[in-house]
Every structure is written in C-alpha cells, then in structure tokens.
Amino acid sequence: MSEKAVVLLSGGLDSATTLAIAVAQGYECHCISFDYGQRHRAEITFAQRLATSLGAVEHRVVGIDIGNFGGSALTDNTIEVPVSGVGDGIPVTYVPARNTVFLAYALGFAEVLSAHEIFIGVNAVDYSGYPDCRPEFIHAFEAMANLATKAGVSGEKIHIRTPLIDLAKEDIIRTGLELGVDYGDTVSCYRLDAEGRACGVCDSCRIRHAGFEKAGIPDPTLYR
C-alpha cells in the first residue's frame, strides 16, 4: 500500500508541479484547496481539474474565513493589486499568516488520515517576498507540528515537503513538463477575469511569464 500524503493545491503552477512530484514519488495524494474569499477564486476550479488529471486520490475544498481579517489586496477589494512590476519588501498581496493557516489545516487532515507527509509548493527563489515562503519558516512549522499532534507524542515524525524550495521558476517548469503537467491547466494570476484569463501584469503573472521565457518554452497562459 502506498504511503499517504496531504498536498496543498492552489491551482497554480507551483502547486501543480508539487502534486506531480508527490505522485511520481509514489504517494497516495490527498489534496486540499482553500476558498478564503480570494479575488482569484477561479483557481479552485483549476485545482479540481488538476487533482484529477495528475492522479490524486482525493480533493477537498475547505472554506476558511481568513479574508474576514482583511489586510491584503488578495482578500480586500478596496486594496489594489499592484501591476507595475515586482518591487522590494513584502507586497500588499501578502495574506497575513496564510501559509500558517493552510499548513495548520493540512496538519489536521494529515492526522485524521494517518499521513506523515505534507507537500507545499513554496519557493524561496522566484517568490514574491512573503515571509512564510522561507525555509526557516518551514523548518519551524515542522518542529511545531511534531509537538502539536498525536504523531509527535507517539514518536512518529511529520515531514513538511517543499520540493520546489530551491528551484528557479524555469526549473520548476522543466520538472513539471517532464512529469506531464499541462501548464495550460494552471493559473497564477491574482487578477483573473471571469473567464479565467490572466492579466499579464501582476507580480504573479510577471514571475510566471519570465519563467517560461527563461525555460525557452512557449507560455501556454491564456491572457486577456
């Protein structure tokens, strides 16, 4: 029997590649996506499709109220998503404690499934300056997770797997293509329109497009 893994799946390029890697490593993959009032909620539909096409055994959409607190351009319609290029520092698209909340849910789900592996597609190279994408955050979360749960008490070990953490965007894309990811089925844009078309100018679109250029691969993104 395969070992179980929980995979955080947003519908984006990074998490799709992460799922493909987890499947290729032989894990029985249980995916979670979150509906947190994000502007780009169309990504959930993409996630559902990816879970099926990449061979996950299960996909759950968990409704969470993180948008309730505000404080981010991704959940608060009164804050504009920047479109003038990737700047320095922590951008307004940062959602407070988002990866902490996502991983906390994944931890609960892993515990119920008796899974010891949690995959998350964070990346510390071509990322947007979010504090909760750094390796030191992931290590600290893993240490905490092993004290938070039954597994920790019984001496089993929970691992937070971040197969993309050291990869440049172009290497992520190459890895995914080798594993059969169709990036036309993924979305990255923070400002998707109702038809699921990308804006091309938000940070996420810019980082994604540059990745395809550097990889020398045509960008399959549907732009408006």
Burial of 84 (0-12, 13-18, 19+ CB in 10 A): exposed
CA triple 204-209-212, angle to 5 deg: 130
As measured in angstroms, the least distance from the Cβ of 168 to its own copies is 22
CB-wise, 72 or 186, nearer to its own copies?
72
Cβ atoms of 102 and 95 closer than 8 Å: no
- Residue position matching structure tokens 């879970």: 51
SS3 75: coil
Residue 109 sits in the site that holds its own copies (CB under 8 A):
yes
Between 150 and 218, CB nearer to its own copies? 150
Q: Over the Cα atoms of the chain, what is R_g?
A: 17
Lookup result for tokens 């938000």: 202
Distance CA 103, CA 90 (A): 20
Q: Which residue has the tokens 């009032």?
A: 37
CA atoms of 34 and 12, how far apart (whole Å): 13
Complex with its own copies: residue 66 or 205, whichever CB lies closer: 66
161 contributes a contact to its own copies by CB under 8 A: no
- Binding to its own copies by residue 132, rule CB under 8 A? yes
Per CB under 8 A, the list member of 39, 98, 208, 209 interacting with its own copies is 98
Closer CB to its own copies, 5 or 181, in the complex: 5
Distance (Å, rounded) from C-alpha 128 to C-alpha 22?
24
Interface of this chain with its own copies, residues 49 to 78, rule: CB under 8 A: 60, 62-66, 68-71
Please choose, out of 16-24, 41-49, 106-114, 193-201, the segment that lies near its own copies by the rule CB under 8 A.
106-114
Confirm or reject binding of residue 119 to its own copies (CB under 8 A): no
Find the shortest distance in angstroms from Cβ 105 to its own copies.
6
Residues that bind its own copies (CB under 8 A): 60, 62-66, 68-71, 90, 94-101, 103-105, 107-109, 111-112, 131-132, 134, 136-137, 140-141, 143-145, 147-150, 152-153
